[in-house]
Amino acid sequence: MSFEDKSFSLFKSFPHPVFLITPDGTVLEANPCFVETYFSRDGEICGKNIYELTAAELHAPDFAAKRKANVDSVVSTGKHLIVDDEFVEGGIFRSSIYPVKSQDGTVVSVLIIVHDVTEQVETEQKARHTEHIFKALFDAVPGSVFILDDECLMISCNRYAFDFFGDWKGEIRNNNICHLVFSEDRPLLKKLLTDLIETGHEQADELRMHIHEDRNSFNWFSIHARKAVIDNRNYLVLVCLDIHQIKTSELRLFEYKKWLTKTMEAGNAGVWDWNIVTNDGMWSNKLWELFGIEKLPGLYPTFELWESTIHPDDREIMVESVKRAISLLADLSIEYRTLRPDGSCRWIFETAKPVYDKHGEVKRYCGIAIDITDQKKFENEITLIRERFDMLLEKLHIGLFHTSLKDNSTIRTIEHARIFGYDNLESDWSFDKFLEHIVDEERERVRDALLKFISNCKDFTIDFHIRKASGEIRKLWTSGSFICDDHGKPTHIVGIVQDTTDRQVGVLVEISTKNRDMMSGGAWG
């Protein structure tokens, strides 16, 4: 920076304190603002040492020493320096220290400009405080929040998203949100974001996304996206809510409905349409038949007519269910009993969906109803057969178990628990718990055999001795088979276990009796 003393006249009327010193601190020039602000005596400081003046007249020796260190740094490096100083009396002053060099690059003097930045710093501190509050609230949102720019590249995400999705190969830091989305759903995400940018309307959809580092599995998420305009630039905010359990249940329900629909097509199914605004409706002929109502002139299908067909014990809860679904514009799926005019009772299943018009409003529901009385009877018969089967196993002292190979959780009958010495099913049961009951000398043999059967996916039969919860030693026999998924991978073990101790004792008694008779006959022979 080339600077001549006569150029200092530019700073004479400068509204901020400005002064020029030699490298050792001697004041060469000072504008009136500097003198009036700090010394109140015009023309008396030139030629004096600024550090001595500061220490003596301003009673600030520490500040003088700090200022000297700053100037020495600028002189030695030849680079300008900006420092903030906070005084006890209040106020924050920012000093911009510039080296003034000769033509050969030697620092011959130092120019210092002082600004009162108290309000500016306070504003900055408030802004930082507001930013910290915003970030804290941002991280407190109980869902994954992503902020994207107008090119759909990620700018930031909250802590919840970072912890939930992880930072697999730096994808979050590299702003590549598409890599978090299941490959088949990426076109859907791109369309959702494109529509949001073009229309500005809030968008929502359901997508599959990878979590943590598992690229082979995914969770279902409900994606809600909005556009925000800041400084004439578009930003997108994505809120991702984990709906995996709900979606899985919905998919299972969908499969059930699909199966049920096929059954309806071949069975007693009726179709209906209902205007929720005018209460006008339409029933197919089969629906009148299902409800046992004669279709007479002047009798029209309404909500009240349908309500009258419901069994009194089911009526209140069914009416409330329908009203609640309508208030939420949700799909409808209900089961209830009808009471026909002839006094007979039938089970009805109904499923329905809201119908959206061209304006995006719902004024109608369309659905289907089917008589599932026979199905209910079949379910009751299955339950009865299972209860009888369980009772038969209990009478034969045979315990039944069903074990998951994924988490080793086990479902077992009460007789299974009793065989191992427990009076109820409250005690936890697992493969390790099973091995704990086996006597020490046989435990390793049984464990190795079972693991071998599991690895080879072969049915097994094993006998062994256990120590019951009471400490009693018993001999058991167990047999099991594997249940596999659609790919042939074993997922569960189903088997039985039986106490054979008494049978073994009976055999030994019988052998002992025969030997005794033989010895007795020989002796008398």
Q: Does residue 198 sit within a domain? A: yes
Same domain, 69 and 189: no
Same domain, 257 and 373: yes
Residue matched to tokens 């309508």: 326
Same domain, 320 and 206: no
Is 164 within 8 Å of 211 (Cβ atoms)?
Answer: yes
**Tokens at residue 251, please?**
């998919």
Same domain, 11 and 73: yes
Which run of H or E residues covers position 252? helix 244-266
Same domain, 103 and 133: no
Instruction: Give pLDDT, residue 169.
Output: 54
Same domain, 64 and 137: no
Q: Give this prediction's pTM.
A: 0.35
Of 21, 28, 20, 37, the residue nearest 93 (C-alpha)? 37
Number of structural domains in the chain:
4
Is 139 within 8 Å of 160 (Cβ atoms)?
Answer: yes
Q: Does residue 518 sit within a domain? A: no
Instruction: Give pLDDT, residue 443.
Output: 92
Same domain, 9 and 111: yes
Same domain, 364 and 255: yes
Last residue of a domain, one of 242, 259, 286: 242
- CATH number, domain of 346, equals 3.30.450.20
Domain containing residue 75: 5-121
Last residue of a domain, one of 327, 346, 377: 377
Q: Does residue 524 sit within a domain? A: no
Q: Does residue 91 sit within a domain? A: yes
DSSP state of 177: G
Sheet strands side by side (includes 27-30): 27-30, 18-21, 107-116, 92-101, 81-86
Q: Does residue 221 sit within a domain? A: yes
Of 378, 369, 380, 373, the residue nearest 261 (C-alpha)? 369
Give the whole-angstrom CA distance, residue 437 versus residue 497: 14
Q: Does residue 512 sit within a domain? A: no
Last residue of a domain, one of 121, 155, 183: 121
Instruction: Give pLDDT, residue 270.
Output: 84
Same domain, 90 and 184: no
CB atoms near residue 245 (< 10 Å): 10
pLDDT means over runs of 10, the chain (525 residues): 59 87 92 82 77 85 91 93 80 90 90 89 83 78 83 82 69 69 89 88 88 77 89 87 86 70 63 91 88 89 93 94 92 92 91 90 91 85 74 77 84 87 84 90 91 85 91 91 84 89 53 41 33
Give the whole-angstrom CA distance, residue 462 versus residue 474: 14
Q: Does residue 318 sit within a domain? A: yes
Same domain, 365 and 404: no
Give the whole-angstrom CA distance, residue 222 versus residue 207: 7
Same domain, 259 and 363: yes
Give the whole-angstrom CA distance, residue 26 versus residue 230: 50
Q: Does residue 384 sit within a domain? A: no
Instruction: Give pLDDT, residue 523.
Output: 31
Q: What is the DSSP string of 187-248?
A: HHHHHHHHHHHHH---EEEEEEE--TT-SS--EEEEEEEEEEEETTEEEEEEEEEE-HHHHH
Encoded amino acid at 88, one letter? V
Tell me the three state secondary structure of residue 356: strand
DSSP state of 425: S
329: left (phi over 0), alpha (psi -120 to 50) or beta: left
Same domain, 400 and 432: yes
Task: Tell me the β-bridge partners of 350.
Answer: 334, 369
